[in-house]
A and B are shown apart, each in its own frame.
Chain A
Amino acid sequence: MSTAGFAIPAELDRDLRRFRTRSLMVGGAALLLVAAGAFLNPPQFFRSYLWAYLFYIGVTLGSTALMMLHHLTGGAWGLVIRRLLESASRTLPVLALLFVPVLFGIPLLYEWSHTDVVARDELLRAKAPYLNVPFFIARTVVYFLLWVALARLLNRWSLAQDRTGDPGLARKMSALSGPGLLIYGLTVSFAMVDWVMSLEPHWWSTIIGMLFMAAQGLSALSFIVALVVLLSKREPLRSVLTPRHLHDLGKLMLAFVMLWAYLSFSQLLIIWSGNLTDEIPWYLKRLQGGWGIIGILLVLFHFALPFALLLSRDIKRSTRTLAPVAGLVLAMRLFDLFWWVAPAFQETGHVSFHVHWLDFAAPVALGGLWLAAFLWQLQKRPLMPVGDPNLEEALAHGRE
């Protein structure tokens, strides 16, 4: 396979562009609806928006982390999807922009932003040095600066590697990825404390960072698997992607499904058995008034079913079967985040499951825009890292 063979052929390029335009149009239309919702029902708008946003930032940051993991450890699994991971990581500036509405929503989303509430609440007073609006915004800015910087550097070197094939660049990417993953781990943990945990400011759980890292990795992997299956119907990926590569990706997906379940169960068991007043309300809300059914659905379809399916070698090796599993997991990621975010705005003992029309419009709007940005980035480079010294080996790995 020659180097030029990995460039996106004209036909695929046209189709991708068409899809991109459509995605942008759908996203734009939904955005108008969402904007209308922002005037009709501002609190609901911000809740739906934050939830949808968490899903897309999860896919993006998960991709960035997987990209760094691949730079650090190598492996054929990462080389065949590296361009997809990189394209996702280059949407971070767009996501930074899309975070701006959340900043306007701080008073409606976060109880701790009201000085009168804080003044009445001893715990919130104690947390005020951390949970206050200026510091919240400053932290968010720092997170995005670090994420964008990491993604930019790694993408720039990857592009240079395409041109020169310089093996020193692979070493450079690997050297940055070690500290990069460390930065990712710390920033994501604190971002999730800020954006998610502080929705219920009395609650805390030390596992939240790891839980969200596992969840983001799973979201990213499921998205990439679904996409790589779609792309493998056409050249150049048709002659590259083999059952062996899918098998590796499927195994990784299985590992992330288990990791998510393990961390989620650990949190549940520890908080349930402790039954302490600061912690247990979080679960009480999420197990009452219809939310419990979502919880059971999560156990069944976020863990049990994908776990059972992914144990099978045949299911992991076939595009026809792996893609639906990836789709299922991706859908369940949305459910899971909804279960994390939506009950936060209800009072313990008065919770009831309900879905607003904005909960449908917001993910479509953000998804359309994000997907368009992703495809725009994807079209910019060949679909394989042509300058990587291990590419031949990775492709041969698939043919073995």
Chain B
Amino acid sequence: MRRSNIAALVALAVLAVLAVFSQADALQSVRATKYVTITILVTPSPAPMGFLPNRTRHPAPLPATDVAFAGLLDDPYSGPRQIASASQSAWDVAPGGGAMIAQVQPTPVPVQFVAKADPNAQYLQVTLNTSQLNAPYGTSVYTCAFQIYTFYGLASYALNDYGYGTTNSGTGTFPIENYPTTSYLSWSVPDFSSTYTAYWNSGSPGEKVWTGTENQAQTHCVNLSLVVPNVLAPGTYTATIQYNLLVN
């Protein structure tokens, strides 16, 4: 009995050591990171349609005072000129001869930056083909929304992605949301598959996009599919996806 317990403990220890080595072998370090930020402009839903009886409706006539007031709104200087003095001079002359626009331009704001080369460009590049998605309600597909280039010369590598800022127990916003809510934004790499996958939204390590062998340079398009639910308010939203190049 005691011998069997010792044997079991030894076997367990051996398994644990093997597991540690196995895990170490699988470990990859992040060589480069890029963030793809896409603006999503959700346009208003079409007005609901219905059929109504074809009745000719006449608006109720406005009271005389409202009519006069509406006329003044259209042209504040209409109506007969009134004379205030014996010299026959008009009193209600519009200054400047017409309606004035109050407009001012303060001193402009100078903006400056010095763009430096990207030290990671040799490993990972993202080229946005459209940084704004105009999204009606329902499902829309955006072909080759962006391209990704990957390369590593010292070992094999993998490209992973996940929604920036997502965690395995957090909350998110449209469109990527946060686990357990499924992302409304999906991706596919048509060079590999036409199947769309909802973006991973439970943080690191994310999901595998593709892999590469040592010295393999590759560029692929990423297609996007976006679902805009009917309950979403029109407006501007942002999707930020984090791409990591993992190397051995």
Answer yes or no: do A and B interact: no
